[in-house]
A = this chain, B = another copy of it.
Amino acid sequence: MPTRYDPADYPPFAVTVDLVVLTLRADALHVLLVERGADPWRGRWALPGGFVHPDEGLDAAAARELAEETGVRDVPGHLEQLASYGDPDRDPRMRVVSVAYLALAPDLPEPRAGSDAAGAAWVRVDDALARPLAFDHARVLADGVERARAKLEYSPLAAAFCADEFTVAELRRVYEAVWGRPLDPRNFHRKVTGVPGLLVDTGRMRAEGRGRPAALYRRGDVTTLHPPLSRD
């Protein structure tokens, strides 16, 4: 911590939050991107974000931006800090430190462009990673996706992609989309129902058209998966 705080003594920074908002659409992992309407990087796609307000904590700023950019008042799912990025030349005009957040949400409505964005859209993560993004957002996005992949192994976070009630198969499709690899339905069912406290059986069923109806579950209160679901 600094010990001298003469306001003339410290270099001023701008602090922003950037959001990696992941969701599942059509069994594929998507990320929310906005098209920049102003320089620098006008016309480029970027992660949504904005300034931290003077009397606002970092988490609060991320939650506010998440609501603003998705157009949903209380976004269900999960929000956690990812990392901070502060290369001196990451923004050509001033010194900016960006605190990135990772959000995992169930399928949300199509976004509308914000005040200073030319457009907003859900983009498949594979496409977004291949596309050139503004600032250092390609790296931020890659870090966010890797964090999500890792966290599915040992945390119950996959359920954040699902609605309040969900089936084991829906949960499995989350894992398959995030890890990009098919999983054996039988082994997945065994492991996931075997973790005590992970799933709460609602007693009800859901038929989705074809096939045998599946049992509906709700999230349990467990915070760590023991043992983890290895992706090898």
Contacts and interface: CB of A to CB of B under 8 A. Distances in A.
B81 A1 contact: no
Nearest to A98: B1
Interface stretch (A8-16, A157-165, A166-174, A197-205): A8-16
Contacts of A85: 58
A93 B4 CA distance: 11
A94 to B, nearest CB: 6
Interface string A1-27: 111110100111111101000000000
Interface string A38-68: 1000000011111111111110000000000
List the 4 closest pairs (A to B, CB-CB), nearest first. A12-B12, A3-B116, A58-B86, A11-B54
B57 A1 contact: no
A83 interface: yes
Interface centre among A3, A10, A14, A56 (most CB of B within 10 A): A3
Contact of A1 (B1, B47, B58): B47
Given A58-B97, A84-B99, A11 B137 contact: no
Copies in the complex: 2
Nearest to A15: B13
The range of chain A's interface size is 35 or more
B57 A87 contact: yes
Contacts of A135: 1
Contacts of A84: 58, 81, 84, 99
A51 B99 contact: no
A95 interface: yes
Contact of A11 (B53, B94, B116): B53
A91 B230 CA distance: 42
Contact of A57 (B2, B56, B88): B88
A37 B5 CA distance: 13
B88 A3 contact: no
Nearest to A56: B88
